[in-house]
Amino acid sequence: EPAEAVEPVAPVELAAPVELTEPVVEAPTLVLPPAPAVAPVPPAPAAVEPVPAPVTVPVPEPVHTVSSELPPTFAPPVATVPGLEQTADGRIVDVGRSVDEIAADVITRMREAEQATLRHLEAMELEATRRYELVTAQAELDAELIRLQSRREAHAIVTAARLRAGEIDDDQVDPADRGHHLAVLGDAVSRVADATDATLNRSRGTGAWST
């Protein structure tokens, strides 16, 4: 659409300014006392934020687990020496040694065993000899005692027989004759033994004593 036509506006003339003449009044000057010094106000302390308490986190204790499996056992390493070999039974054999050295070692050990056996046999012979001498001395002593005892018993028997036959009296018997005293003592012991046996037999027959 075509633009509308704008009518021109006439300029407006302004009137001349009017000057007003008024008396100038001077204002009185006021003298004010000096203001008191004001102390500076300290700035308000900034608000301190509270420090949070440290949070302790519990540390879990380590759990020791015991293994039922035993640690593998390792055989100690065998020092490898040139000329040494280990057999199936665990022995170490020096294959580098000569046959003569092995034979000499065996012979030496056999001689040592022989010497030990000879010393043992010598000790056994000495012990046997000592025991034989002791047994021989004991036998000789027993034989001498038996001979003396036999002579005493024979003399006592002869003396007792002569007393019973009336060939000799008690006054004729030597008081120092031990054979006579032994014979008298033997007769008394025999009579006591006979009486004891008779008493025991009677007691067994009547059942007074239990065996």
117-134 residue pLDDT tens: 999 999 999 999 988 988
| Among 23-27, 51-55, 157-161, the range of highest mean pLDDT | 157-161
Judge contact between 83 and 95, C-beta under 8 A: yes
Asked if the model's pLDDT at residue 1 lies above 60, the reply is: no
Q: Which residue type occupies 145? A: L
pLDDT on residue 36? 62
- Pick from 57-66, 99-108, 118-127, 181-190: least confident: 57-66
pLDDT on residue 151? 81
| Among 64-78, 107-121, 183-197, the range of highest mean pLDDT | 107-121
Distance of CA 83 to the CA centre of its chain: 42
Judge contact between 83 and 91, C-beta under 8 A: no
Kindly report whether the global pTM for this prediction surpasses the value 0.85.
no
Mean pLDDT of 132-151: 85
pLDDT on residue 208? 46
Mean pLDDT of 151-162: 78
What is the phi-psi region of residue 48: left when phi exceeds 0, alpha when psi lies from -120 to 50, beta otherwise? Answer: beta
Q: Which residues pair with 93 in a beta bridge?
A: 85
- What is residue 170's DSSP assignment? S
Distance of alpha carbon 70 from alpha carbon 142, whole angstroms: 76
| Token output for 116 | 């030990």
Mean pLDDT of 4-20: 58
